[in-house]
Amino acid sequence: MEIMWKLIEVSKRYHLGKGRDVLALDRIDMKIYRGETFGVIGESGSGKTTLGKVMMGLIEPTEGKIYFRDKCLTDLKGSELLNLRKEFQIIFQDPYRSLNPRMRVADTVMEGIREGIDRAEKKERVKELLQMTGIEPERMYNYPHQFSGGERQRISIARALSTTPSFIVCDEPTSNLDLSVQAKILNLFMELKERFHLTYMFISHNIKVVNFIADRVAVMYKGRIVEYGRKEDVMKNPVHPYTDILISSSFFKKADVSEIERLQGRQGCLFFPLCPCAKDRCYTEIPELEEVGKGHFAACFKAE
């Protein structure tokens, strides 16, 4: 399989002042293959959105290398980077906040259409994109507030497709929608993937959504990938206790908040305070991702 994205030891650290730092991403190593939907799951604050923004170049990584189609994005500058960025897009969680309320839908979608064609051709392309995403072309001159939440998300999808990308980060794109609308949007994503031969990274805290749409899944906890592999392996045979807890949606063991804060500065597994399988070494050693099955990796001493 062709590797589309490759991340090597990618970290992102935020400096909050007064000696306080937050490690949003901690030495991320992963690959995304062309044509797949790569799911990323985890609780709020686990680093999922930061990972997507770092890959898109919206945030610069503190350390590490990011490769897209064998080109190192962290080394590229200027027009070369700008041209390459047209190949990947991001769809955000809240379509109302990500759409300019003062711009008509036609102008919003038209922004990404390539230069070199006249305005009439661009308008026809806008109509095509809106129609294929489920928006009536005659509404193209309306403003975002004149659409429902699901319709605004469809407009965001049309805008993302306007640059003819090969890769799209979908950052919680259905979390603000009703269940019936969620299903329609997910089906739309799958239809567009086949039609345009797209590759997705689908970020969500909803296990059912990721289980429905993803081919492979990565599980994040406090900025680290603790497990990843084929959806069937991760969902049906989780190795890391955190993955098991996410899937079962119930904590086997609860830790006192003060205990978690006391352990924050130490070396060791960050999940130790909540882990039902913790060993003494989990307190002092950081487990690394190890292959526990074909294409199935977990960062947990339990797997040894």
pLDDT at residue 253, as a whole number: 37
Residue with tokens 């000696």: 19
CA atoms in the 13 A half-sphere facing the CB of 165: 26
Q: Is 25 exposed, middle or buried (0-12, 13-18, 19+ CB in 10 A)?
A: buried
- For 209-261, the pLDDT digits (tens) are 899 999 999 999 989 999 999 999 999 999 998 998 888 763 333 333 344 44
Residue 55 has pLDDT above 60, yes or no: yes
The domains located in the chain, with CATH, are 3-87+165-303 (3.40.50.300)
Give the mean pLDDT of 192-206: 93
- For 115-136, the pLDDT digits (tens) are 767 888 889 999 999 999 999 9
Banded model confidence at residue 304, pLDDT cuts 50, 70, 90: low
Give the mean pLDDT of 168-194: 89
Integer Cα distance of 175 and 200 in angstroms: 17
Integer Cα distance of 164 and 65 in angstroms: 25
Integer Cα distance of 187 and 285 in angstroms: 43
Give the mean pLDDT of 161-176: 90
Q: Which residue has the higher pLDDT, 179 or 141?
A: 141
Mean pLDDT of the chain: 86
Residue 95 has pLDDT above 90, yes or no: no
3-state helix, strand, coil in the chain (%, to 5): 40, 25, 35
